[in-house]
Amino acid sequence: MEKGKIEAYTLMELAVAMLLAGLCLSICYTAYGLIGNYFSAFEKKNNSAQLVLGLQRAMDRDIDRGRVLLRTADGLEIPQDSILVRYHFGGGIISREVEGLRTDTFVLVPTEIGFRFEGREAVEGDTVDRVGFVLALEKGGKVPMVFKKFYSAQDLFR
């Protein structure tokens, strides 16, 4: 070793090391952004699926427990043993009101709503045995929903 000379990296070596470190950081940052976007899209899709399943479970349960389904001006009325459940379709939402308790709101857009009884369209105040609609999801997705109520002769004479 020569006198007065210090062992160290050259400026070129430091520049190359900084370039490689910057390249690695930019790759990591891009990967982090992509994964974040994928997770966000997955979470949004999962939330929509959760809403659809929640609506399906609630309507299935209410229709099974209901004595009769009655058509209203903007939805459906389901009298049960001790409560009255109302469904309202419109304004980009489906709301489920339980008399005296609470209102559940499903932020889903129902389209092609149809209420039928024995194959014919039910008008306001009529008994309903089939409820069908299509849920319009983001990005053009559509989910058809059909709910049926089977009545006995005793149920229809009440």
Contact 127, 156 (CB under 8 A): yes
Residue-wise pLDDT tens digits, 69-112: 999 999 999 998 888 999 999 888 999 999 888 889 998 889 89
Which pLDDT belongs to residue 50?
92
Tokens of 145: 């929903």
Tokens of 51: 């809403």
Tokens of 22: 């910057």
- What does the buried/exposed string (b/e) look like for 109-129 if buried means 16 or more CB atoms within 10 Å of the residue's CB? bbeebebbbeeeebeeeebbb
Sequence-separated (6 or more) residues with CB below 8 Å from residue 117: 126, 127, 128, 129, 130
Name 143's bridge partners.
Answer: 135
Which pLDDT belongs to residue 2?
67
Asked if pLDDT for residue 46 goes beyond 80, the answer is yes
CA-closest candidate to residue 142, choices 94, 96, 109, 93: 109
The mean per-residue pLDDT over the stretch 124-128 comes to 89
Asked if pLDDT for residue 3 goes beyond 80, the answer is no
Spatial distance between the Cα atoms of 98 and 85, rounded to a whole number of angstroms: 5
Banded pLDDT at 55 (limits 50, 70, 90): very high
Asked if pLDDT for residue 137 goes beyond 90, the answer is no
